[in-house]
Amino acid sequence: MTAVHELLTDDAKNARSSVIRDILALVDADGVLSLAGGMPDPATFPCDDLVGAAVDALRGSPATALQYGRTEGMTELRELVAVDCTQRRSRPCAADEVLVTTGSQQALDLLGRAFLAPGDEVAIDDPGYLGAIQALGARHPRWLPIPVDRDGLDTHALEEALTAGHRPKLVYTVTDFQNPTGAVLHPDRRRHLATLAEHWGFVVVEDDPYGRIRFGEPEHPPIAAWTGRSVALGTTSKTIAPGLRVGWAVAPSEVTIVLARLKQATDLHTSTLSQHLVVDLLSRPGWMAQRAATLGRFYEERARHLRDALVDHVPSASMSAARGGLFQWADLAGVDTVALLDRAVASGVAFVPGSAFSTSGRHTSAMRLTHATLEPAALREAARRLGSVV
């Protein structure tokens, strides 16, 4: 008789754990200082506010906070997201354009299922977010990697590819403090990308988990300010806490309905308790603005510690100053960072090799480092260990 695991589909058998997840396991390994995963420092979690919100939700509204909910998400949360979205894109966003998702990672999976058939083309930041490569890659697309520099996705390179005959259905980019490079998409490029979407008919997936963590960088309008051909992804993972698993997608309402149907089959709805907590915090006047300012100051200092320590201990690394978010990108010209990782872990420090972020096998001498997780003294020690193996 056929063994149980042999009944798995080829897709399931071929599914690979992401390098990120495997490396996150190292965080728990004895003595390894991790510059790898993008885990916010738990010291920043707003625990007191969450305790108050949880007591209110459980005592005050258990019939909704612990009950099944609507697949689209809590109306109050959709409205809060729509108001924020209206302000940022300077044109109206309605609550029925918003789908609450179980982290923005779920939105990526739903978008892949909604838009992509095997062989469809997808343009993506190169280097780009590993979780998007994983989620969209599950649909077996043809990748169109578009270079990222310090001004984000090179929209002129995208235009050349379009002119040469490429026809991506989706263009995926992280607009603010990109994962993995920290780049910010230049306002001119945002406008250009919107123009290209209107002309060539693709959909821009603008993913923005880090936009609230700014080190003095001015805010730029989202791509949706210039085009309706946008799906904007947001999350509370970096601003409140990732364990809540509350994110959202904002799309034309015809698309939101379809995404909601696909979500229904996956998890019925996002945790109602988590949504209650998020609604409570986001409804407090000024709460998010104050929190964003606190997080910006906290991580700016961390980023400076990591950068200074790298300048001292890994002088061969070329990197540009972090402008926000949780990541820094370093290049060690000529060094194979996958091979380096083994030795680094043996020496008690972890990072993510650059090639993990490429659909085209590039960035082999680069690495992504996070300043989010470790305290200043540990950041310095991690940089020292890294320096010793480089």
Applying CB under 6 A, which residues contact ligand PMP?
Answer: 38, 103-105, 129, 131, 174, 179, 207, 209, 235, 237, 242, 247
Nearest residue (CB) to ligand PMP, 124 versus 309 = 124
Nearest residue (CB) to ligand PMP, 237 versus 355 = 237
Closest residue (Cβ) to ligand PMP? 103
Q: C-beta of 210: minimal distance to ligand PMP in Å?
A: 7
Using the structure block, give the residue that is written with the tokens 């990732």: 242
Q: C-beta of 326: minimal distance to ligand PMP in Å?
A: 8
Using the structure block, give the residue that is written with the tokens 């379009």: 162
Cα distances (angstroms) measured from residue 48 to each of 37, 55, 126, 278, 373 = 25, 11, 40, 13, 20
* Peptide linkage before 127 cis (omega within 30 of 0): yes
Q: C-beta of 241: minimal distance to ligand PMP in Å?
A: 10
Rounded CA-CA distance 302/326 in Å is: 9
Nearest residue (CB) to ligand PMP, 175 versus 337 = 175
Q: C-beta of 131: minimal distance to ligand PMP in Å?
A: 5
Nearest residue (CB) to ligand PMP, 69 versus 209 = 209
The H or E element that residue 313 is part of is: helix 287-313
Nearest residue (CB) to ligand PMP, 205 versus 309 = 205
| Residue 307: exposure state from Cβ atoms within 10 A (0-12, 13-18, ≥19) | buried
In this structure, the number of other CB atoms found within 10 A of the CB of residue 116 comes to 19
Q: C-beta of 24: minimal distance to ligand PMP in Å?
A: 11
Give, as one character, the DSSP assignment of residue 335. -
How many residues are listed for the chain in this entry? 390
Nearest residue (CB) to ligand PMP, 162 versus 232 = 232
3 state SS of 39: coil
Q: C-beta of 323: minimal distance to ligand PMP in Å?
A: 16
Tell me which residue of 13, 234, 242, 265 sits closest to 114, measured CA to CA.
265
Strand spans (E) along 4-72: 33-34
Q: C-beta of 199: minimal distance to ligand PMP in Å?
A: 26
Count helices and strands (H / E) in the chain. 14, 13
Nearest residue (CB) to ligand PMP, 240 versus 382 = 240
Nearest residue (CB) to ligand PMP, 102 versus 314 = 102
Nearest residue (CB) to ligand PMP, 247 versus 324 = 247
Tell me which residue of 155, 264, 255, 247 sits closest to 207, measured CA to CA.
247
Nearest residue (CB) to ligand PMP, 226 versus 248 = 248
Rounded CA-CA distance 128/120 in Å is: 18
Report yes or no: 369 and 344 within 8 Å, Cβ to Cβ.
Answer: no
Using the structure block, give the residue that is written with the tokens 């805010």: 219
Q: C-beta of 101: minimal distance to ligand PMP in Å?
A: 8
CA 13 to chain centre: 26
* SS3 of the chain: helix, strand, coil, percent, to 5: 50, 15, 35
Q: C-beta of 107: minimal distance to ligand PMP in Å?
A: 8
The C-alpha angle with vertex 345 and arms to 343 and 348, in degrees rounded to 5, equals 115
Q: C-beta of 358: minimal distance to ligand PMP in Å?
A: 15
Report yes or no: 309 and 383 within 8 Å, Cβ to Cβ.
Answer: yes
